[in-house]
Every structure is written in structure tokens, then in C-alpha cells.
Structure 1
Amino acid sequence: AIAAKSLKEVRYHLRHASDWLVRFGDGTDESHARAQAALNHLLPYCQEFWIGSDAETQAVQSSTGADLASLKADWDALVDDTVQEATLQRPAVQGYVPQGKLGVHSEHMGFLLAEMQSLARTHPQAVW
């Protein structure tokens, strides 16, 4: 039941994000330029999806996890279809060295963690 609910949620978010990318890409010159700039900036970070951590590698070896490389072709096809429908160009893969799964993060991670942890720190006895 949890897996079915998760799959439903993922499909919803994929559809929602794809629809908005198409709207921005096919919208005004301004929205198109901003969507393209966002793709150019953010898509290289997705390379980290395909680099397995030690835990992920062990999960594949024990048949309890998915081989990330086997998912890449389908992911690329979904991204390419959406980018094309949005009349945008997929940027070339270059320059990014994924290290997040190795625990190496940019200074931005501290700000993100602080934001995400603020509620729990403000109300340490809360239960949700």
C-alpha cells in the first residue's frame, strides 16, 4: 500500500513539474529564457542520480535495491521528451563532479539544513 501511494505521488509530481516546464518554455520570451537558464544551471546536478553510494551498491548486490544505471535511459527519455515539448534545449553534460553522496557539499547545504530543521528545533517535543 505504501509503495502504491508513493508511486501515485511521484507520478503526480512528475506530471505537475512537466506541465509547468512546458508552460514556461512555451510561454513568453522571458519565461522561455528563464526556463532555459534554470535547466542550464540545474540539470548538471542530476548527474549525481547515477552515482551509487556504498549503501546503494550494497543494496544492489543483495537484491534489495535498484541498479541506478538501469534507470538512466528511461529518465533521459522522459527529460528529453519534456524538454523538447517545452521548446527548450537540453544542456550538454559537463563540468560537474558529483560528491554529495560522499558527504562533500557546498556551503549552500548548511542553509538548506537550517531551514528544514528550524521547525523541529523550535518545537523539540512536537510529535507529527
Structure 2
Amino acid sequence: MDTDDDYPDAAKRHLHDAQWLLAQARLANASHLSGLSAECALKAIAKAKRFDGTKKVHIPGIFSELQNLSSVGAGNPDLVSKIAALQTKFADWNVNQRYAPQNKFTIARTSEECAGAHAACQLMTNYGEGVV
């Protein structure tokens, strides 16, 4: 399989599945896909801004990478502040949570993560400069 990265497609696909899983109360997988969706959306923004330093970085590390990057925020403090606001939605998210038991996930927290993924996809659409 060819592994060309298509972050916008992955972000939207993961968000769609996360929303469906949340509606079915499949919280562990909804949470995991919400985080992956947000991560892909942020990577799409970084790629559109010609910064590829996020390729191997996951949430939460991607937030500090993007906030400290002048090319992403150059001339656009609004984007930087919106990325920073997303960070709170994923305060407890970690890519390794895919191994956690179902009972560690709550509807409230997973709903917050899913909303964060949606917001990240909106940022991707608004600031990704044609990546969608």
C-alpha cells in the first residue's frame, strides 16, 4: 500500500467515525479517533504552512510544536490562539490510550474530545489554505 499522507482525508474520516461511535456509546474508540482526527487536522495545517516537523509527533506534543512555530503563527495570532484553545479539549488524551479498558472513558470527556476534533477540522478548513 502506498502511504502518502493525506491528513485532511484522515482528519475528516476519523471525525465521522468518532461521532458515530460516540452516538453508539462506544467511548474508547470514539475518544481515540477524536484525538487522531484533531492530530491529522493540525498536521494538515502545519503541512499547508510548509512545516513538516509534526509528522512523528502526537497529541499533546503537537500543540507545543505548533505554538512555537513562527511559520504557522506568522501574521496570524488568531490561528495560534485557536490551536491553544484546542489543547484543553485533549488534556487527558494520549495515543497509547487505545490499550485502556472501556470503563476509563466517560461520555462527558469523550464528547469534549469529539467537539475538539470538530473544531480542529474547522481550523483545517479555514486555515489549511486549500488542503481540503
Shared fold (TM-score, shorter chain, > 0.5): no
TM-score norm. by structure 2 comes to 0.31
TM-score (norm 1): 0.32
Q: Larger Rg: 1 or 2?
A: 1
Greater RCO between the two (CA within 8 Å, min separation 6)? 2
